[in-house]
């Protein structure tokens, strides 16, 4: 029930989660870990994005910078050049487009081009990104990226008892503890010589100690020149920085961390497995590390960043969270996080499962090649869905849509209301409409619940043809929208509808079946648009709908469809031909 009640507002769209939503991955990059270069050409990327929509994707996530282990950072200008034509073309086809970026300039440009979601892999830790999204209406995805996304927090000491006696007693205890530590140092040094000295803590300028990070080793203060990925502009800015006075050391440290691409550094270390993670080779009694500290870091960060966005002015129903599998985490940690999906879902935000082809999926399945991990990905996703995940981000949309439709049909009985427009102007028009109604009633997991009267209308768009007979059928179905559409196309073919290239568009036809609307569904693409984008201008649809619902014009306006006044519509109703 909690999952069903969640909604996600993304610009002009509102996604419900009465079923899991599929996000298709579209990498417009030459170097992504499983499909780099396949869709680097903008035209190829657009074609692939449309194909994913036609295969069942609800959202397309467009990225122009690979964040695989060992990736090379991309200049925002280059990233924008890659993604903006793709975002613009997909949004034009009614797609819900997500822009996968950590750069504010790219996010702004993509939203202007039609993107409805900003997917920030650094979890909106950049105040400029927060400032931007609070002024827009786009949906946001807060992702946990390991050490990069979790800044060290300092907590002020709170004095609970201000009495003089309590104060003196506290100071005495602190002095005794300090004396005990001083007395223990010689013994510790002797043990260190016998057992080997532990790794020294990294020192920052001014003598400060590098804070420990939630996942992975602390970021080194310097790296070999061959591995530095700092953009030229940032290097030039760093060269102009004047060395600060000793008391300004913390400020210098902060500036240095900003000039270095910490995400790239972390993912380079992930590429070198022996340096990527906290050592876990010690003998232990359990197969996985304790979940409590891991989930405190992940859920604490996600909750904190969501609250930061809310306090900045981003409404709660625009926020989605993603634990960021593979980002600064070991395979063991990723499995722990996935097993705790229900806890993350209980935070109340839409929850994303973005495990597609990740390294830990290969570790648990024994599949080395990333592109061959789709079946294992589906298994991990199914576990996440059962535990409360709402959105599944996958590379193989076709395979996962089939997998999900099969599972959902058996596991989740869920009839939903839909409307199908029926028209005919060849042969016995009313008989054709009644035959279509009977065949729709035979579609699996579908029943006809109501029918409008049959009306006669003027031809629309192509006016040099005979008048049409029109009606609208109300159905209940448990099929996915694209599966239902395929069944409707089969009925058209059986009743003699010619959809070949030689057939005239909007010309005469024995039968025409249009899926107008389905409860809780929004879809874009060439094959299907929901709600149907032309409902609002078709008199031969809106008038029959009045037999089935109160004030259809108001209903569809509420659902984001522009509805024209009767005199401005096409295909005007001119008479009534009888009951269905």
Q: Please tell me the distance from the alpha carbon of residue 365 to that of residue 387, in angstroms, as a whole number.
A: 20
What average pLDDT does range 37-63 have in this prediction?
91
User: Of 497, 528, 495, 531, which Cα lies nearest the Cα of 419?
Assistant: 531
Model confidence at 222, pLDDT cuts 50, 70, 90, reads very low
Model confidence at 470, pLDDT cuts 50, 70, 90, reads very high
Q: Please tell me the distance from the alpha carbon of residue 364 to that of residue 384, in angstroms, as a whole number.
A: 15
Model confidence at 520, pLDDT cuts 50, 70, 90, reads very high
CB 98 within 8 A of CB 141: yes
**Positive or negative: CA dihedral 84, 86, 89, 94:** negative
What's the CATH fold of domain 416-578? Alpha-Beta Plaits (3.30.70)
pLDDT at 195 over 90: no
Model confidence at 475, pLDDT cuts 50, 70, 90, reads very high
CA angle 309, 138, 328 (to 5 degrees): 60
Count of residues in the chain: 580
**Which residues, at least 6 apart from 122, have a Cβ–Cβ distance to it below 8 Å?**
102, 143, 145, 148, 149, 263
CB 525 within 8 A of CB 482: no
Q: Please tell me the distance from the alpha carbon of residue 156 to that of residue 299, in angstroms, as a whole number.
A: 22
How do residues 64-117 score in pLDDT, each as one tens digit? Answer: 887 766 557 788 999 999 999 999 999 999 999 999 999 999 999 999 999 999
**Positive or negative: CA dihedral 177, 183, 184, 188:** positive
User: Could you say which DSSP state residue 33 is in?
Assistant: T
Q: Please tell me the distance from the alpha carbon of residue 103 to that of residue 126, in angstroms, as a whole number.
A: 9
Backbone angles phi, psi at 253, to 5 degrees: -60, -45
Q: Tell me the pLDDT of the chain averaged across its residues.
A: 83
Q: Omega into 75 within 30° of 0, i.e. cis? A: no
Q: Please tell me the distance from the alpha carbon of residue 334 to that of residue 326, in angstroms, as a whole number.
A: 7
CB atoms within 10 A of CB 531: 21
How do residues 525-572 score in pLDDT, each as one tens digit? Answer: 999 999 999 999 999 999 999 999 999 999 999 888 999 999 999 999
pLDDT of residue 239: 41
Q: Please tell me the distance from the alpha carbon of residue 275 to that of residue 266, in angstroms, as a whole number.
A: 10
Give me the percent of the chain exceeding a pLDDT of 90.
65
DSSP 268-322: HHHHSHHHHS----S--SSSS--HHHHHHHHHHHHHHHHHHHHHHT--GGGEEEE
What average pLDDT does range 455-464 have in this prediction?
93
pLDDT of residue 327: 87
Give me the percent of the chain exceeding a pLDDT of 70.
74
User: Of 214, 212, 191, which Cα lies nearest the Cα of 202?
Assistant: 212
User: Could you say which DSSP state residue 19 is in?
Assistant: S
Cite the beta strand spans of 39-95 per DSSP E: 59-63
Exposed e or buried b for every residue in 409-437, given b needs 16+ CB within 10 A? beeeeeebbbbbbbbbbbeebbebbbbbb
CB 164 within 8 A of CB 316: no
The structure's pTM equals 0.78
Considering the domain 2-150+286-410, what is its CATH architecture?
A: Alpha-Beta Barrel (3.20)
Residues of the chain with CATH 3.20.20.20: 2-150+286-410
Q: Please tell me the distance from the alpha carbon of residue 398 to that of residue 64, in angstroms, as a whole number.
A: 22
pLDDT at 121 over 60: yes
Cite the beta strand spans of 332-435 per DSSP E: 352-353, 391-394, 416-424
Query: Cα(first)–Cα(last) distance of the chain, in Å?
Result: 38
pLDDT at 231 over 90: no
Residues of the chain with CATH 3.30.70.560: 416-578
Bigger pLDDT: 2 vs 414: 414
Backbone angles phi, psi at 343, to 5 degrees: -65, -40
DSSP 337-358: HHHTHHHHHTTSS-BEE--TT-
Task: Provide the Cα torsion 308, 309, 310, 312; round to 10°.
Answer: 90
Model confidence at 328, pLDDT cuts 50, 70, 90, reads confident
Bigger pLDDT: 376 vs 69: 376
DSSP 231-246: -HHHHHHHHTPPPPPG
């Amino acid at each position: 029930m909690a999952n069903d009640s969640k909604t996600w507002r993304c610009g002009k769209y509102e996604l419900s989660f009465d079923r899991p939503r599929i996000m298709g991955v579209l990498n417009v990059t030459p170097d992504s870990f499983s499909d780099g270069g396949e869709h680097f050409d903008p035209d190829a990327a657009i074609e692939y994005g449309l194909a994913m929509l036609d295969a069942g994707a609800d959202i397309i996530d467009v990225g122009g910078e690979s964040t695989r282990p060992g990736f090379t950072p991309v200049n925002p200008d280059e990233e924008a050049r890659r993604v903006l034509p793709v975002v613009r073309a997909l949004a034009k086809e009614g797609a819900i487009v997500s822009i996968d970026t950590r750069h504010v300039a790219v996010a702004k440009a993509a939203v202007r081009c039609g993107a409805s979601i900003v997917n920030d892999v650094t979890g909106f830790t950049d105040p400029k990104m927060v400032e931007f999204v609070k002024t827009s209406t786009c949906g946001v995805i807060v992702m946990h990226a390991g050490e990069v996304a979790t800044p060290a927090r300092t907590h002020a000491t709170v004095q609970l008892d201000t009495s003089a006696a309590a104060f003196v007693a506290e100071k005495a205890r602190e002095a005794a503890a300090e004396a005990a530590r001083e007395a223990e140092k010689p013994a510790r040094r002797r043990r260190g010589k016998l057992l080997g000295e532990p790794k020294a803590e990294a020192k920052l300028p001014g003598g400060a100690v590098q804070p420990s990070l939630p996942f992975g080793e602390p970021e080194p203060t310097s790296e070999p020149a061959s591995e530095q990925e700092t953009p030229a502009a940032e290097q030039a800015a760093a060269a102009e920085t004047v060395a600060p006075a000793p008391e300004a050391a913390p400020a210098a440290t902060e500036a240095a961390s900003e000039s270095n691409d910490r995400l790239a550094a972390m993912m380079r270390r992930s590429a070198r497995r022996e340096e990527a993670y906290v050592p876990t080779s010690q003998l232990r009694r359990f197969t996985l590390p304790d979940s409590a500290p891991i989930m405190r870091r992940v859920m604490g960060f996600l909750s904190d960043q969501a609250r930061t966005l809310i306090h900045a002015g981003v409404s709660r129903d625009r926020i989605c969270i993603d634990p960021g599998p593979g980002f600064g985490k070991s395979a063991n940690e990723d499995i722990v996080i996935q097993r705790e999906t229900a806890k993350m879902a209980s935070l109340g935000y839409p929850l994303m499962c973005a495990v597609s082809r990740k390294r830990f999926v290969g570790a648990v399945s024994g599949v080395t090649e990333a592109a061959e991990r789709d079946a294992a990905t589906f298994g991990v996703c199914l576990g996440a869905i059962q535990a409360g995940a709402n959105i599944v981000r996958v590379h193989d949309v076709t395979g996962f849509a089939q997998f999900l439709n099969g599972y959902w049909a058996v596991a989740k009985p869920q009839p939903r209301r839909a409307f199908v427009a029926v028209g005919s102007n060849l042969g016995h028009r009313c008989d054709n409409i009644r035959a279509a109604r009977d065949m729709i009633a035979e579609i699996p997991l579908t029943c006809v619940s109501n029918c409008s009267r049959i009306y006669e209308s003027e031809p629309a768009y192509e006016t040099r043809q005979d008048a049409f007979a029109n009606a609208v059928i109300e159905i209940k179905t448990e099929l996915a929208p694209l599966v239902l559409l395929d069944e409707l196309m089969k009925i058209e073919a059986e009743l003699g509808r010619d959809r070949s290239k030689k057939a005239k568009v909007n010309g005469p036809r024995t039968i025409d079946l249009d899926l107008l609307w389905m409860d809780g569904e929004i879809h874009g693409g060439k094959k299907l648009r929901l709600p149907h984008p032309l409902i609002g201008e078709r008199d031969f649809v809106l008038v029959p709908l009045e037999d089935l619902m109160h004030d259809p014009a108001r209903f569809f306006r509420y659902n984001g469809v522009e509805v024209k006044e009767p005199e401005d519509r096409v295909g005007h109703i001119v008479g009534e031909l009888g009951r269905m």
